[in-house]
Amino acid sequence: MSISEKAHAPDAPHSPPTVKTRARKRPGDLAFSGASLGAGIIILIVLAATAFFLIAQSIPAFATDPADNPMLEGQSFWSYALPLLFGTLWSSLLALIIATPIAIGIALFISHYAPRKLAAVLGYVIDLLAAVPSVVFGLWGALFFSGFLQPFYVTLTNTLGTVPVLDLLFAGPVSASGRTIMTAALVLAVMILPIMTAICREVFLQTPKLHEEAALALGATRWEMIRMSVLPFARGGMVSGAMLGLGRALGETMAVTMVLSGSPIVAFQLLQSGNPQSIAANIALHFPEAYGTGVNTLIATGLILFIVTFAVNAIARWLVNRRAEFSGAN
């Protein structure tokens, strides 16, 4: 990032202000710069159009009577959408809690523990994780991983399910198939690991070498060096990596759709068979059969998802960019 500001191509030759010589504008130049400018503007238009069309298509969901709406069936829009929003936030938050320490661990392992040659290969392995299509993750999570985890869930319920505070999360009865919100969150965690690792690795590698060497020279062990010089330097980057991961998890559809058989409820229990549904999964499940204002209702929930992820991503990117600016100063 920091190189970017310095490496721009020279524009028309800088001449002293008194002499007015400008590079001749050839037709080819005009066409080419116009085309590239147009492409850039198309992107902005697409983003604006996304917001515009989603809003335009969700208005009927609010404007019409809920009783006539095949998706709402008489209940108000918010009583339909809020449990879904809860499901989205809850599953993503769980995934984030699981994935963050592991992602930081992997990134540290690649940047500071593994031998240099091995690190490149390991980075590639993590990138492979990112390349696996989400539907394959969903299939694996539903048919293999949930069955694999189910015995552990039984143990968890038996041990933690009776502890006063924890029983809010781990109370039984355990789902017999293992296809619970916990499994969905674990699959989501695996899916958001690569992006979080990539960001963390990048900021860890940007730690000034002198800080690290100074810490080591003072007799710090490797972990003390990481705690004193790497982690404080990378705090902003780690936060934004986590936010980007959160954004990914919020919008992820297939893992939740295929792993869970959810329903629009608000429930904190992780291991039972009744599970909250997420917005994206709800759209994927009901969109093919939706008609009339039902479609508009689903689009309106999509708009909520869009706003939430947009905000999360914008904050994360803002943090990354702010960090990039002050890291260029060292």
Partner 1 sequence: MTTPHASSAPARSISTGHLPGWAPWAILLGSMAISAAVFGVAQGAGDIADFNIAGTLFVGMVIYIVLIVVVSTIAESRRHATDRLMTALISTAFVIACLPLISLLWTVVSNGIARMDAEFFSFSMRNIIGEGGGAVHAVWGTLIITGLAALISVPIGLMTSIYLIEYGNGNRLSKSITFFVDVMTGIPSIVAGLFIYSVFALLLGPGVRMGIMGALALSVLMIPVVVRGSEEMLRIVPNELREASYALGVPKWLTIVKVVLPTAIAGITTSVMLAIARVIGETAPLLLTAGFVQNLQVNPFESSNGQMMTLPVFVYNEFMYPSASSPGASLERAWAAALTLLLIVMVLNLLARLISKLFAPKTSGR
302-321 binders of partner 1 (CB under 8 A): 302, 305-306, 309-310, 312-314, 316-317, 320-321
The yes or no reply on residue 38 touching partner 1 (CB under 8 A) is yes
3-state SS, residue 218: coil
Residues in 185-204 at the binding interface with partner 1, rule: CB under 8 A:
190, 193, 197
Point out which span in 47-55, 64-72, 229-237, 263-271 binds partner 1 (CB under 8 A).
47-55
Residues in 60-99 at the binding interface with partner 1, rule: CB under 8 A:
none
CA atoms of 199 and 202, how far apart (whole Å)? 5
Residue of 16, 17, 115, 133 that binds partner 1 (CB under 8 A) = 133
Residue of 131, 164, 165, 329 that binds partner 1 (CB under 8 A) = 131
Min dist CB 98 to partner 1, Å, is 10
CA atoms of 92 and 94, how far apart (whole Å)? 5
- Comparing CB distances to partner 1, the nearer of 171 and 260 is 260
- Comparing CB distances to partner 1, the nearer of 91 and 257 is 257
CA atoms of 112 and 201, how far apart (whole Å)? 9
The yes or no reply on residue 299 touching partner 1 (CB under 8 A) is yes
* Terminal CA-CA length for the chain: 14
Task: Write the interaction track for partner 1 spanning residues 149-178; mark x where CB under 8 A is met and - where it is not.
Answer: ------------------------------
> Do the beta carbons of residue 36 and residue 284 sit within 8 Å?
no
3-state SS, residue 276: strand
- Comparing CB distances to partner 1, the nearer of 253 and 272 is 253
- Comparing CB distances to partner 1, the nearer of 257 and 272 is 257
Min dist CB 276 to partner 1, Å, is 17
The yes or no reply on residue 102 touching partner 1 (CB under 8 A) is yes
Partnered with residue 276 across adjacent β-strands are 263
Residue of 16, 17, 22, 46 that binds partner 1 (CB under 8 A) = 46
Alpha-helical segments (H) within the chain: 27-63, 77-108, 116-131, 134-140, 146-160, 167-170, 181-205, 209-217, 222-225, 231-251, 254-259, 279-286, 293-327
- Comparing CB distances to partner 1, the nearer of 114 and 167 is 114
CA atoms within 13 A on the CB side of 61: 26
CA atoms of 282 and 299, how far apart (whole Å)? 11
